[in-house]
Chains A and B, each alone.
Chain A
Amino acid sequence: MVDAETTRNSTEAPDIISMTGVSFAWPGERSFRLTIDDFALKQGTRTLLLGPSGSGKSTLLSLLCGITQPDRGTIELLGTDLTTLSSAARDRFRANHIGIIFQMFNLLPYGSALDNVLLPLSFAAGRRDRVRKAGAEDQEAKRLLAALGIEGELLSGGTAQLSVGQQQRVAAARALIGAPEIIVADEPTSALDTAREDAFLNLLFDQIDAASSTLIMVSHDESLAPRFDQALNLTDLIAKEVPAA
């Protein structure tokens, strides 16, 4: 169990994520516009974003990961303004610096657990180099999976045979491989019961600490808050605007 008030000094660490004056609406969507005036996260922190579904969590994460571009404003990650990058450069940036864990259905149904973990390395040269410095790619993948409790025949079998909890742990290993600076998790435990949720978070936090990554996790479960450095309410953060018709 890792204590939330650890040795991390959140006041002196630089901002790893900062969004200012961001405004975004999905094309063709008139009733929903997401605006964020100011949002910043320190490096090495664990942040919990709380909010009910439909509050714009997915949109926020899409913007944060550079999958979608805001209509205006800046989104800076590790000192790079994503809004100034080309779409290909944003894809490369995401591959190299962000590990993503979805709510569920994280894995490619074809391909084994090992294949799935190795997948980001095909797109992220930076993470690949980091892994190679430590050893062979599949050695690192196996080490991570073992640390998360996936071993033996689970590695090479089809992912459909894995339980939901096991699938989420494979997804965590995929997000963590090559130690990206930022881990984004979108309700990764919502499909797990409390005991499994606890176990999953313990394993995840251990590996995030080992990689000294910054975690930003979205959830609707407020009871998780004590385990994080900070818990932010999305409704406070996001100014939802309904433009006058």
Chain B
Amino acid sequence: MTVIRLALQSLKNRWLTALLTVLAIAVSVVLLLGVEKVRTGAKASFANTISGTDLIVGARSGGIQLLLYSVFRIGNATNNMTWRSYQQIANRPEVAWAVPLSLGDSHRGFRVLGTSQAYFDHYKYRQTQSLRFAAGKRFDDLFDAVVGADVAAELGYSVGDEIIVAHGIGAIITAKHDDKPFKVSGVLAKTGTPVDRTVHVSLEAIEAIHIDWQDGRPIAGGQISQDDVRKMTLRPRAITAAMIGLKSKISTFKLQRYIAEYRREPLSAILPGATLYELWALIGTAETALLIVSVMVVITAILGMITMILATLNERRREMAILRSVGAGPGTVVGLLLSEAALLTLAGVVLGILATYGLLFTLRPVIDSLYGLYLDISPPAAMEWLALAAIVVGGVVAGLLPAFRAYRQSLADGMSVQS
């Protein structure tokens, strides 16, 4: 008790350096916990990019590739699947719903997705969240388009604006479907998923803008006007992929096998959740790097504290000699310095925890709307408590160095009081 009171008084006497040391430790704790929160948040957001969909079907390819182009709109499908195959799968008895996805066109850097109305019913993210409209409504007319939140924000679109879809993606845009402009019918609310960066049109619209095209370019002199197109029956010949929902999850693997063994064309089906984790494991090395950096920062903070204690040790030789003279044993001297190290780290950790949650509460809405990263505010997990305890233990263990030094000094100094 006396030892702790003395340590407190001594610290109070050096409050500025003590405060800075505590702050350094607190900042390192904020970084460590923050990285952990962002990491788990990113992982959860990533894993929750698409939920409620049991299988994604596409032309036979690697699972990750299928996931990348169908959900993340990254890269291209090597092959399409035919409309007939799609319908055959969609009509299977175990299938509850199916949503076709047709990719390949873009609008000023954003992917254009041809799909059905069912997309807005069945696309789910963050477990149960459905797509919501910030303004307007679903595509209704053939040349209606629904834009994601980022598309609307970056290009300044609102309901009623006209947009022109280009053929091809990114830098290799070959031609524009400028004879058939679309009208924005709705703007989706922010989801934090690739939906935000997508322009949604009906599957028929995709057919319509390509009806007078052949081999990726317009047929010379064969333009069909927007009005004429409306009169035609627009049946897609092929789609890129399809989202499948099942009546019962039990039939997931049965249907997956059926698709894998599908005779007409080579197809494959993936479980989005499993493939998302597979993909995360692939890009997850970055999280390890982040974690290593924050551990380094914690170590730096503890080293800073030890440096501070060691630096004050010399001027505190007198203090130690006085304590020894009134009967304090070397144990008290060691205890004094150890409890000081413990107190500083503990204060730093507690302050760090408070600051982390304070920041989480204030910044969560901002981070969610800016980056679509939803940070879960929950008490520290077991691993985090363990890490925090390790920091305190590390601080005390590191405190052994100045404590041992002071012990040696107090023995060597004997009765002589160094000024």
Interface on A for B, CB 8 Å cutoff? Answer: 26-27, 58-59, 61-62, 65, 67-68, 87-88, 91-92, 94-96, 100, 102-111, 115, 119-120, 122-124, 174, 186
Smallest Cβ-Cβ distance to A103: which chain B residue: B417
Among A103, A104, A105, chain B packs the most CB atoms within 10 A around the CB of: A105
Roughly how many angstroms separate A110 CA and B9 CA in the complex, as a whole number? 6
* Cβ-defined contact, A111 with B9, below 8 A: yes
Determine if B327 and A108 form an interchain contact, defined as CB atoms under 8 angstroms apart. Answer: no
- B318 to chain A: which residues have CB within 8 Å? 105
Q: How far is the CB of B264 from chain A (nearest CB, A)?
A: 86
A122's contact among B2, B13, B415, by CB below 8 Å, is which?
A: B2
* CA distance in complex: A120, B411 (Å): 19
Q: Does B322 contact A (CB under 8 A)?
A: yes
Given the known interface contacts A59-B414, A88-B331, A186-B415, the answer about A174 and B326 at a Cβ–Cβ threshold of 8 Å is yes
Q: Indicate if the CB atoms of A91 and B415 lie closer than 8 Å.
A: no
- 5 cross-chain CB contacts under 8 A: A87-B329, A91-B324, A92-B329, A105-B318, A186-B415
Known: A110-B13, A111-B9. A105 touches B328 (CB 8 A): no
The CB with the most chain B CB atoms within 10 A, among A58, A67, A186, is that of A67
Residues of A near B419 (CB, < 8 A) are 104-105
Contact: B417 with A105, CB < 8 Å? yes
Cα(A108)–Cα(B316), bound, Å: 9
Asked if B12 is at the interface of the complex by the 8 Å CB criterion, the answer is yes
Number of B positions contacting A (CB below 8 A): 26
Expressed in whole angstroms, the minimum distance between the Cβ of B274 and any Cβ of chain A is 62
CA distance A115 to B5 in the complex (A): 11
Contact partner, B324, options A67, A109, A115, A124, Cβ 8 Å: A67
Which single residue of chain A is at the shortest CB-CB distance from B319? Answer: A108
With A102-B322, A105-B417 known, 7 other A-B pairs at CB within 8 A are A58-B414, A59-B414, A68-B414, A91-B328, A91-B330, A103-B417, A107-B322
Expressed in whole angstroms, the Cα–Cα distance for A76 and B13 within the complex equals 39
> With A59-B414, A61-B415 in contact, is A123–B326 under 8 Å at CB?
yes
Closest CB in chain B relative to A189 CB, distance in Å: 16
B294-324 interface with A by 8 A CB criterion = 318-319, 321-324
Q: Which of A59, A65, A115, A119 has the most CB of B within 10 A?
A: A119
Among candidates A26, A88, A102, residue contacting B417 with C-beta atoms closer than 8 Å: A102
Is B174's CB within 8 Å of the partner chain A?
no
Which of A26, A61, A87, A95 is within 8 Å of B330, CB to CB?
Answer: A87
Inter-subunit contact B417/A124 (CB<8 Å): no
Chain A residues with Cβ under 8 A from B319's Cβ?
A: 108-109
Identify which of B326, B329, B331 gathers the most chain A CB atoms within 10 Å of its CB. B326
Nearest chain-B residue to A109 (Cβ)? B13
Instruction: Contact check, A124 vs B414: say whether CB atoms are below 8 A apart.
Output: no
> Which A residue sits closest to B315, measured CB to CB?
A109
**B332 nearest CB neighbor, chain A only:** A123
Residue B10 is within 8 A (CB to CB) of chain A in the complex:
yes
Q: How many angstroms from the CA of A122 to the CA of B5 in the assembled complex?
A: 11
Would you call A120 and B415 a contact (CB within 8 A)? no
B251 close to A (CB within 8 Å): no
By beta carbon, the residue of chain A nearest B418 is: A105
Q: Which residue on chain B has the smallest CB distance to residue A26?
A: B412
CA distance A115 to B414 in the complex (A): 23
Q: How far is the CA of A108 from the CA of B9 in the complex (A)?
A: 10
Known contacts A104-B419, A107-B322: A91-B329 contact under CB 8 Å:
yes
Q: Which residue of B lies closest to A88 (CB)?
A: B329
| 7 A-B pairs with the lowest CB-CB distances in the bound complex, closest first | A95-B327, A62-B414, A123-B327, A110-B13, A91-B329, A122-B2, A62-B415
- Docked complex Cα distance between A92 and B330 (Å): 12
- Whether A58 and B326, one on each chain, are in contact in the complex, defined by CB atoms closer than 8 angstroms, is no
Contact between chains at B326 and A95 (CB < 8 Å): yes
CA of A27 to CA of B414 in the docked complex: distance in angstroms? 12
B329 touches A58 (CB 8 A): no
Contact B328 A123 (CB under 8 A): yes
- Closest A residue to B14 by beta carbon equals A110
Give the docked Cα–Cα distance between A195 and B412 (Å). 35
Q: Once the chains are docked, how many angstroms separate the CA of A124 from the CA of B329?
A: 11
B415 touches A65 (CB 8 A): yes
CA A100 to CA B328, docked complex, whole Å: 13
**In the bound complex, CA of A94 to CA of B328 (Å):** 9
Residues of A within 8 A of B9 (CB): 108, 110-111, 115
Instruction: List, in ascending order, chain A residues with CB within 8 A of B329's CB.
Output: 87-88, 91-92
Specify the chain B residue showing the minimal Cβ separation from A60. Answer: B415
Minimum CB distance partner of B327 in chain A: A95
The smallest C-beta distance from A125 to any residue of chain B, in angstroms, reads 10
**A124–B327 touching, CB < 8 Å:** yes
Which residue in chain A gives the minimum CB-CB distance to B410? A67
For A119, the chain B residues whose CB sits under 8 A away are 322-323, 326
Other-chain contact of A91, B12, B13, B327, B417 (Cβ < 8 Å): B327
A233 to B92, CA, bound (A): 113
What CA separation (Å) do A96 and B322 show in the bound complex?
15
B225 at the interface (CB under 8 A from A): no
Docked pose: A96 CA to B414 CA in angstroms: 18
**B223 contacts the other chain (CB 8 A):** no
Do A100 and B325 have beta carbons less than 8 Å apart? yes
Residue B416, interface by CB 8 Å: yes
